[in-house]
Structure 1
Amino acid sequence: MHGRVKVKTTAQQEEEKKKEREKKLKIYVAARDACFSKRKDGVFDEEALQLTQQLLSSNPDFATLWNYRREILMHLETVKDEDEVQKIYEAELSFLESCLKVNPKSYGSWHHRGWVSARLPRPDWARELSLCDRCLSLDDRNFHCWDYRRMVVKMSGVPVKQELEFTDRLIGSNFSNYSSWHYRSTLLPLLHPESPEATSQCCDPPHSSSPPSPQTHFHRVCEEQLLKEYELVQNAFFTDPNDQSAWFYYRWLLGRGMCLYL
């Protein structure tokens, strides 16, 4: 009737959505085939870089495209000067942040970010640590981010004390955090090692499912620090007696299991 807004039926809406998906799929497949064709022909130009970016923006878990993208970037390193390479890799880091927004646990995105950071002529490690802080504040059990953070800490030489304080903050805000407790266990032997005169003892790190190899050597934490750890974990019990992460850590402490793989 006149004066009334025409409302589409459910069937019509579904049909339009279907056509839109088919249209996007055709564009995606065309771009994918173009990438594969370029790679087969050994083409490593900036157009290929744009094509892979277009595809990975919507699907950051396409491992083959990350591999091709690294081949393109390595080629560009040979034809660009250092300042140009710096700009290319800085743009790559910005692109990777957008990929991580699509999927914060994308293995391909985190692996590629580690690769880029290691090749960056002038890396900004403070920025990378800040990124890890933001990601872990959203999901403190994102093990991809934890792995990347360990790489950044190693490459940039972040003091062990600073990282231990970082675990203090995370555990203080959420006792139910297996990753923070475990990371803490790897830092304590470095910052508070047991004296050489003390009797050594071997054990597994907490939450580890793999037995130590015969070649593995261990260092334990000093008695004074162990007592402080007991107090810390007991505070976690009082906060949430039913949470398993603190109990795992406590059981490990009771076994005097403060060890470090070397």
Structure 2
Amino acid sequence: MSDQDDIPFYEKPEWADIVPIPQDDGPNPLVPIAYTKEYSTTMDYFRAICRTQEQSERALDLTKIVIELSPSHYTVWHYRQTLLKALNKDLSSELDWIQYMIDENPKSYQIWHHRQVIVDHISAALLPADVPTSSTFSTLTTASGGIPYNALSEQQKEAAREAVKVELAFIAAALEEDSKNYHAWSYRQWVLSHFGPGPWWAEELEYIDKLLETDIRNNSAWNQRFYAFTQGPLGLSQENVEKEIKYTKTKIERTPSNESPWVYLGGVLRKANHPMSEIKEFCESLLPMPRANFSPYLHSTLLEIYEEEAKARRTIESVTKAKEAAVMLAEKVDPIRAKYWNWRKGQLNNISVEA
């Protein structure tokens, strides 16, 4: 380490020509923010280079200093992207720095978004010549419509697969530290969809299965499974839906009081336009199980099934059965929400019964 490393940047001779611009809080600020001297001075210099729209290596270095002091400073991130484009910088080193920043600040949305911008720009090189890209004066060129994977050459497909592999591994490492990191999951969904209908969609289901084997109550993983299954290129064929229903049933049998697989199962059925009655026999088979009998998710699903049947059949017997399910929830299984279940029971009176 040189002696220069201990000197604040604004005391170095290469910054002597810059006249810092102090923050203007007006003549009588009521409650001025108590910034540290380091941050306040750094921002004074940043405002100065912003005013002149300076595009230089020192300006790029200054954005790094500001971001490391305040990782959520959106304006500085945007200015950094402008400089990366203007200076034609090597973006692979930018990805390395982003990895360091995410390790230090895993919940900063701005850092995750910056990585998306950089990866988007890098991936634009994969686009066929006849596919338009998006670019503005102040941002990097991007493949705004995503990568048409099936239209790529074999060499380009291999490059896309490698890019996805790197990003998914990077995200998986972040999720090992915090499996509920919303920004990591959101970015993961973007990566999957941005690079098109490649093999990573099927691999994603395998990855999620491993997560659920580790923690079957990982609601973020269940949410990601729904995204991968319903938005991916595999499709909602009868075979795929039946396979997914079977998979979810095995998870429910393990933890019948776990809300996530119940929500997932209902979501898959509705997305595929399958009736809830399709799982009636399965739900009723769980009732004799002691650990399932008092699951509010089992009984609320049965209520939904019986209500669906009551609306279709319009018989006294079907309406009565639905009401009994609502009473069971209100009085025995989920009394803390008794008012809601009694309201649901009252709604059943709106079904006109046919003689």
1:252, distance to aligned residue in structure 2 (A): 3.8
Question: Quick one: distance in 1 between partners of 2:250 and 2:264?
Answer: 12
Which consecutive segments of 4 or more residues in structure 1 shift more than 6 A?
none
Structure-1 residue corresponding to 2:261:
246
Do residues 191 (structure 1) and 252 (structure 2) align? no
Do residues 61 (structure 1) and 72 (structure 2) align? Answer: yes
Aligned to 1:140: 179
- CA, structure 1 residues 173+59, in 2 after alignment: closer, same or farther (shift >3 Å)? same
For 2:91 and 2:121, the matched residues in 1 are separated by 8
Tell me which amino acid in the other structure corresponds to 2:96.
S
Identity %: 26
Partners of 1:70 and 1:151 in 2: how far apart? Answer: 19
Structure 2: which 5+ residue stretches go unaligned? 1-34, 126-158, 274-355
Aligned to 1:112: 114
Q: Alpha-carbon deviation of 1:259?
A: 4.8
Q: Deviations over 1:89-136 (max 9, x none)?
A: 112111112221222010100000000111125884322211101011
Q: Does 1:127 align with 2:138?
A: no
Matched, 1:176 2:189: no
1:50 aligned partner: 61
Asked which structure has the greater CA Rg, the reply is: 2
What's the TM-score, normalizing by structure 1?
Answer: 0.67
C-alpha distance in structure 2 between counterparts of 1:67 and 1:259, whole Å = 41
User: Which stretch of the first structure deviates more once superposed, 107-116 or 168-177?
Assistant: 168-177
Structure 2 residue matching 1:48: 3-state secondary structure: helix
Shift of 1:76: 1.4
Q: AA paired with 2:121? A: R
1:118-161, Cα deviation, whole Å (9 max, x unpaired): 11258843222111010111111111111111222234434321
Q: Structure 1 residues 115, 192: CA separation in 2 closer, same or farther (over 3 Å shift)?
A: closer
Q: CA deviation at 1:192?
A: 5.4
Q: How does 1:1-262 map to 2 (within 5 A)?
A: 25-77=36-88, 85=89, 88-120=90-122, 124-156=163-195, 157-189=198-230, 190-191=233-234, 193-195=236-238, 222-237=241-256, 241=257, 243-252=258-267, 256-259=269-272
Coordinate RMSD, CA, aligned: 2.5
* 1:110–1:145 CA contact under 8 A, matched in 2: yes
Q: Are the equivalent residues in 2 in contact too, given 1:164–1:187 (CA < 8 A)? A: yes
- 2:234 maps to a residue whose letter is L
- After TM superposition, the score normalised by the length of structure 2 is 0.51
Spell out, residue by residue over 1:39-61, the C-alpha distance to the aligned partner (whole angstroms, 9 max, x if none): 11010111111111112113211
Amino acid at match of 1:234: E
Q: Distance in 2 between matches of 1:224 and 1:149?
A: 24
Structure 1 residue 221: Cα displacement: 5.2
**Structure 1 gaps, min length 5:** 1-23, 78-84, 196-219
Q: How many correspondences in the alignment? A: 198
